[in-house]
């Protein structure tokens, strides 16, 4: 095997497996982008309102993972009804511009990708 491809095999040092697997789920990137764009503290319900198709459970799970990774900080106020505020950590703030970079690429090419997807579906359908 080509030497430069070895890093992609299943090893503990594979950067893709170590990182994309962390924030490569359905919601993490979206939550990071929303927190980054908003720019400060956001309450749970506020995040839920912005990302309107996420369920409470998935938002909780996603925030917990991001907190565990040190990308998001959680502040819990002992009040009734409960109040919890989230914001990016320094590490999170450092990451967001790199994600935005990819998101900008996405914005620029999303139409082309959607067209390609439709063309492919027709191609597959015509073979049935």
Partner DNA sequence: GTATTTAGTTACTTTTGTATACTAAAGGTA
Partner DNA sequence: TACCTTTAGTATACAAAAGTAACTAAATAC
Q: How many helices (H) and strands (E) does the chain have?
A: 5, 3
Q: Is 70 left (phi over 0), alpha (psi -120 to 50) or beta?
A: left
Q: How far is the CB of 76 from DNA (least distance, A)?
A: 7
- Structure tokens that stand for 20 in this block: 């994309």
Question: Among 25-33, 89-97, 107-115, 118-126, which window interacts with DNA (CB under 7 A)?
Answer: 25-33
Write b or e for each residue in 56-66: b if 16 or more Cβ atoms lie within 10 A of its Cβ, otherwise e: eeebeebbebb
- Structure tokens that stand for 102 in this block: 């990819």
Positions in 29-88 near its own copies (CB under 8 A): 29-30, 33-34, 37-38, 49-53, 67-71
Q: How far is the CB of 37 from DNA (least distance, A)?
A: 19
- What is the rounded distance in angstroms from the CA atom of residue 120 to the CA atom of residue 99? 28
Q: Rule CB under 8 A: which residues touch its own copies?
A: 1-2, 4-5, 8-10, 13, 15-26, 29-30, 33-34, 37-38, 49-53, 67-71, 91, 94-95, 98-99, 101-107, 109-110, 112-114, 116-117, 120-121
Q: Rule CB under 7 A: which residues touch DNA?
A: 25-27, 43-45, 48, 53-58, 60-61, 63, 74, 76, 80-85
């Amino acid at each position: 095997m080509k030497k430069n491809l070895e890093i992609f095999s299943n090893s503990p040092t594979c950067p893709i497996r170590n990182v994309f697997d962390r924030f490569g789920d359905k919601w993490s990137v979206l939550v990071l982008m929303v927190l980054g764009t908003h720019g400060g503290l956001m309450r749970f319900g506020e995040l839920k309102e912005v990302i309107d198709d996420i369920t409470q459970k998935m938002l909780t799970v996603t925030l917990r993972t991001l907190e565990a990774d040190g990308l998001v900080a959680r502040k819990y106020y002992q009040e009734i009804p409960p109040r919890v505020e989230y914001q990016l950590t320094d590490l999170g703030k450092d990451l967001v511009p790199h994600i935005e970079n990819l998101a900008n690429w996405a914005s620029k090419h999303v139409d082309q990708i959607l067209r390609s997807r439709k063309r492919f579906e027709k191609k597959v359908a015509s073979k049935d």
